Amino acid sequence: MIRHAALFRLKESKGTEGEASFLAALSALRAIPGVQDFRIDREISPKNPFDYAVSMIFADQAAYNGYNDHPDHVAFVQNRWIPEVAEFMEHDTVALA
């Protein structure tokens, strides 16, 4: 099992239509085959510069690769993520045995 997560901060201000539009587009990625336990959370800790976290689980490397290569994901990254995210940190993990 692979857990994929990204902590991020948008260029758009909180509470704006741009924020809502971005989060709605991000949420649509849950429909990509292989995505499980999709979540978008708001960061509450003042200890880091990020405002949001998105996370999901994949059964295996093939499912994770399928998500990364899926046309909807590729389009989202190019058309929304790159132009609208100010800063992010990606976090991809597998459980220790």
State pTM to two decimals.
0.91
Residue 87 and residue 49 in contact, taking contact as beta carbons nearer than 8 Å: yes
CATH fold group of domain 2-87: Alpha-Beta Plaits (3.30.70)
Q: What's the pLDDT at 40?
A: 98
In angstroms, rounded to a whole number, what is the distance separating the alpha carbons of residues 10 and 14?
8
Q: What angle do CA 75, 79, 84 make, to 5 degrees?
A: 135
In angstroms, rounded to a whole number, what is the distance separating the alpha carbons of residues 90 and 2?
13
Half-sphere exposure at residue 4, Cβ-oriented, CA atoms within 13 angstroms? 19
Residue 39 and residue 5 in contact, taking contact as beta carbons nearer than 8 Å: no
Where along the chain do its domains lie?
2-87
pLDDT tens digits along 69-85: 999 999 999 999 999 99
pLDDT tens digits along 16-71: 999 999 999 999 999 999 999 999 999 999 999 999 999 999 999 999 999 999 99
Q: What's the pLDDT at 4?
A: 96
In angstroms, rounded to a whole number, what is the distance separating the alpha carbons of residues 85 and 12?
8
